Structure 1
């Protein structure tokens, strides 16, 4: 059973609040500015991402966003919604199925598929969609806090 959740009022869910089926979504546009900033941050200026004349001669017939830019949209969900603040990525297995183009609207869906109380880790199914078509998917393993940090009052 899937249960769509919002950001926790504290900013993040703790381990004991998580259960299989919890799902969060976020919609992010792959803008020209995001692609430019990602190229600068990653130092990946592959012309398939940056040069329309070059990219138009490739199998993609035009520029595409960096795959890891699209994957980073999943990190936005993990770090801000589910589990949220305090979650730390351990690993990410990922497959890309379709390219993301400039101004594509990407819907990211993250679903809890397992919770390991002993290791304080959860496995998350991460999927990305453009116009209802699966563009990427994979499983992330994330460490989650067991309790909230006490208030500094």
Structure 2
């Protein structure tokens, strides 16, 4: 069963609330400002991302977004929606299939693929789409809390 979910009212789903097929999405526009901020945060100023004159002479015929910028939109889904607050990345594998350009809207789609009740680890299927085009995919393994922290009084 596949069901698209929204952020849990508490900010995150606990392990016992998850099931295989749960899916969440977030659409993010790739902007000049995001590329600049990512370059500054990562210290990756590769001219294929930053310099139109250079990038226009490459196979991409213009600037493209950092692959990990686009992949980070999936991290936003994992950390904020599914599973959400309290989820900890243990590993991630990502394959990039097509470049993402300034102005593209990337839809990050995360789905629960499998669960291990003994370790509270969840394998997530991760996809990034621009329109109907799959631009990246892979999987991530995360640890998910088993119970909520009691509210502070």
Please identify runs of 4+ aligned residues in structure 1 that moved more than 6 A.
none
Using the TM superposition, give the Cα deviation of residue 10 of structure 1 relative to its aligned residue in structure 2, in angstroms. Answer: 0.2
Q: Once the 2 structures are TM-superposed, how far is the Cα of residue 53 of structure 1 from its aligned partner?
A: 0.1
Aligned to 1:17: 17
Query: Pairwise mapping of residues 4-153 of structure 1 onto structure 2 (< 5 A)?
Result: 4-153=4-153
Please give the alpha-carbon distance, in whole angstroms, between the structure 2 residues aligned to 1:34 and 1:46: 15
Unaligned runs of 5+ in 2: none
RMSD (CA atoms): 0.5
- For the residue of structure 2 that corresponds to 1:79, the secondary structure is helix
Cα deviation, residue 56, structure 1: 0.2
TM-score, normalising length from structure 1? 0.99
Gaps of 5+ in 1: none
1:74 Cα offset (Å) = 0.3
User: SS state of the match for residue 38, structure 1?
Assistant: helix
The alpha-carbon deviation at position 17 of structure 1 amounts to 0.4
- How far has the Cα of 1:131 moved from its partner? 1.3
- Listed one character per residue, the Cα deviations across residues 118-139 of structure 1 (whole Å, up to 9, x for unaligned) are 1111000000000110000001
